[in-house]
Structure 1
Amino acid sequence: MRTLCIRVVFSVLFTLISGYHGTSQIIDFSRENSYKQIFRQTDNFGFSYLDTLELGYKNAPTDSLRLTILNDLAYYWHTRDLQKAYEFTRMGLKEAKAKELKTWVGRFRVTYGAVLLRDEKLDSARIVLGQAMEVLNQKEYPFLYTQLGYVYEREGNLSAAAEYALRSLRLGEKFNDLHAQAQAYSDLSNLFWKQEKYQKGLEQGLLALSLFEAYGMNDLDYDFALYVVGNQYLALNDPENALKYYSHAISIGERYGFYNNLSDIYISLADLHGSSFRYADAETAALNAIQYSERLNNNFMLMRSWLSLGKLQNLQGKFLSAITSLQTSIDIATEDFGDAFFLSEAYQNLGKAYAGSHNYKDAYHAFEMYDQLQKEVFTEESAERMSQIQTELEVAEKDSTIQLQDTQIKKQRIIQTLGMIVIVLLFLYLLLIFKSVRRNRENNKLLQLQNEEKEFLLKEIHHRVKNNLEIVSSLLILQSEQISDTNVRSAMVKSQQRVHSMSMIHQKLYQGSDLSNIEMKDYFENLGSHIINSYGMEDRINLRFAMKPIAVDIDQAIPIGLIVNELLSNALKYAFPGNRKGEVTISLEQHESVLHLEVSDNGVGKMVSQEPEGTGFGTQLIKLLTTQLDGEMKLVVDKGTLVSFDFQRIKAA
């Protein structure tokens, strides 16, 4: 019970915090849909929604909207304060009559009947509801039939109550009104519970909840249905499930202020905890039920609340206290109380209390009253009608099942037909895909052949270019041997080396698998070996390549190759005089989008002087190639010479 109370407290706190915003949004006359009707269009509000309606209805721009809000206000006050409910109902009736709005007169009469019913004025409620039937259309009958069913239930006429629940159900089905159907199943569940047909009652109650949940509103009737299902589980000795449904019902009742439902639920919780020997929790529940009944000023609820306390005291062996509580319950139930079901239960428990206190005379009298009232409740007519209703419901369920099966068979046939169509279409689609794949494969083979031919042609071109450059290189060598001037011969040799460096690029292209990029480390190794051999310095100079394999586009590879050719030639000619031994290091690396080239030696440090030796053409060529590549050159002379370059990397197309 402590856990349950904590849950209820948290529910109320949540309502006060999160429900305020929702409440403020119920009425906004600046919008087109200026009133979100409570429990019909929204349930996003908290405990104070009735205060909001009371403040807002007077400013409604139309009669229809004003009367809608006023009727909701009147009906939902009857769950908390009957006097305020009377006040707003009479106000609405007076206004509807004055404006000769017959339909609204009928609606307010139904609300008036609900208030009279709650106030135990059963005859007046029946008359007012009968008058409402004369002016309302059939679509509004389910709610009216529900109230008439409650009148007959309170009078102990369960068969008539069940009849009205069935009428409401049929109209709900006719007009596809989920709420009306759910309410009817909930009322039938409650009537089966009174007839002690708990399993059938549970089936109807769970069906009601499923429809309420499909309707999508937490309202007074959904709250009551949760309570009814909890009662069925309790009667079927399943207190765990019963407590689950009671707890859910309490959270809704506390949020919206449904005092009548809360009183009902706490009465049942007293029975649940009492049967589990949790007497303290049971007593708290019974006292809560009494408190809510007194708030509502409802004798029917108050009588049952004292009854629950008396039953608990009997369980505890507190027979004298039980006699007081049960006698209070019976005294509250006046002669025209009507509901023999609960009155008989009060006399039965009073008899047990008298017997427990050894007052057998009064016990006999109490049990005699119990037997008499039981005969009124469980009449042959009532039992027969409830059995007929059960049969009707079972037949309806079977008919519904047959219709559902027929519908499913039709759906299966449609699905099978559609399946065959889909299979045929899928087969055609797969056939088209097969043909398309085969056609694409043939096209791919043709393209591959064409690519291979083009690749072969490109390699052949590079091969021929390489051969032509080698011829030029050979011619330069031959020509240089005919020249006696040392400077001219040196220039011719250098030109031969430059041509050879370019021919090596084309050789790499036709020998490799990539026709647009050159792997530079291998290229540098071959170029360096050729230059060192041409100078006959392979025994004195060590070439080191401080780099990883890196591929460079041909448009950059040729200028870079020429630059390295010049730098390496200069190093061999000037950095190691007098047969000195040394080392030349070449590296090419990529840092993000920049190519960084370095050529360094550990020679005498005079590779480039203020007055260059030779013609100076090599230096000019390096600067020209650096500019062509949009690069920057840096020179460092310190215990050798280091020349570095930074070029923007060209991405291959």
Structure 2
Amino acid sequence: MRKLPNKISGLVGLLLIMKSAISIAQTSTFLPLQPEKLKYAQEVESEALAKKDTLLMAEAYYLYGKIHVAAHDYLKAKDYFMQSLRIMEKHRDLEKIGRLYLYLSELEILQARNTEALKYGRLAFSYFQRSGSPKRIAAGYHRMAAIYIVIYKSNVHDNLKKSLHDSVLYYCKRGERMAYELKDTMSIADASDRLGDFYRYQKSRRALNYYQIALKCYQVLGHKHNEALIMQKLATTHLAMSQPDKAYESAKEAETIYNKLSIRETQTEKEFAAFFEEYYRGKKDWQNAHKQLKILFDIERNQLLADRDGAVSRLAVEYETEKKEVQLKNQHNELELSKQIQQNQRRFLAALSILFLVATVATTVFYQLFRKNQRLSQQNATLVREQNHRVKNNLQLVSSLLSLQANRLTDEAAKTAVEESQLRIEVMAILQRKLYDGDQLAMVNMSEFIKELVGIALQSFGYEQTKVDYDMALSLLIAADPALRIGLIVNELVANACKYAFPKNPNPIFGIACTLQNQQLTLKVTDNGPGFQGVENRKNQTFGMRLIQIQVQQLKGTYRFKKEQGSIFEMECKV
């Protein structure tokens, strides 16, 4: 009877713990860093270090800050902006100092810290006025208007409403006038957007007119993200004016545009959920209203889990204290930043050390080597760049450690189990490499992925000369999570074929077909072996068969084994 090999119980526990650790890491609300922009920022930083150009280093910090804002990692974003600000204040570049304060103000608004946002906004506006740049001054008016609108919306004291009303109107109108004088489409869109917000909170129909102006500007500029946000605001305004049908139409159009974008914003998704909850409640569609309310609750819960206001406040206090007490040298700032990055990496590796004791020793040795070579600036820069790739390389490190462990084992069953575990980890490593090296963000080319993992598996079992028939489109792209699960399934089937189908077969043949149509993925794996028997007997199922079942269940798919001139595995799932 043919069946997949049994695995030792300790390895089962190890893989389950690995899955749990990966799941915990995936709960982070941070988005992936934009690879192209990150690469450019790293190139600017390397050039700055080579030339010892502090202004160029300030630009690199500024670029890193913008990248982390897009990833919703506001703590690191503020840290980078502060590093850039330290350098720019020494060089008295008024326009760039104002630009940095503008981004700091935006960070505070994103975290609902209105007082801090207003402080940074006033500083940005002051520097822009002193720089004399009309375009920057207009941007300062838009920022001040946005801050006052947020404060105006959240303020409940009638005695302050009049004062805030005048401030909002003053900055909005001045910004609008300058935008039209400059004939700057983007600036006109910003001014109209601010005025639309202001009149929307006053429940005035004038909000619709201003939003329409902003919408046309963003459409001309091709800014799909801003177009979706304006459509969302139009929907909210229509709903407030008892026009539910128009509101729903605008909201669905906004949602369609937003879902096509590669970025995700928590606040935007909250506003979508809040709008649809209010709309369905007005329609007395309580079931859908409850669903939207649950979505809104989940988003807000995740926001609380990611809340790091205390850390951001500490960073701001440290900067103000440091600024008053002493002006540190630029090189010292760079080294301190490197230490902070290494400390963060060390905390992450310390958590992994609980799972992998051998990895702890390797990480400690690596860190000690880094500390010894820290005095040499070029080696320090090289190690910093290596640390940026540590997450990518962790899986490869685990695979190597398992290989070393397998070489030390004398028990053949344990050695086989460890080697098979190494193959599963190699599947994850291949996927990570494809994600890192590929042009598509969070998407995997299944043709390249499957061919590489099949080649490695065959080589591991000594069947690298085996004929493999592939039937896959060259541009078959799917998301990373289902790709990993499909890769684990294919790996198990290849290993199974190498053990039971090929040894007594003078002409082993292996085939893989994978197609995707209307989000329905079909996978077919064949070999010319004797076929599977007893795969549905749960009492005698091996770990490999159980692993295949678990992956198919996670994909919410169906599978079957057949015997037709060999062994056939077929699976269908949505991706």
TM-score normalised by the chain length of structure 2: 0.45
Highest RCO, 1 vs 2 (Cα 8 Å, sep ≥ 6): 2
TM-score normalised by the chain length of structure 1: 0.40
Structure having the higher Rg: 1
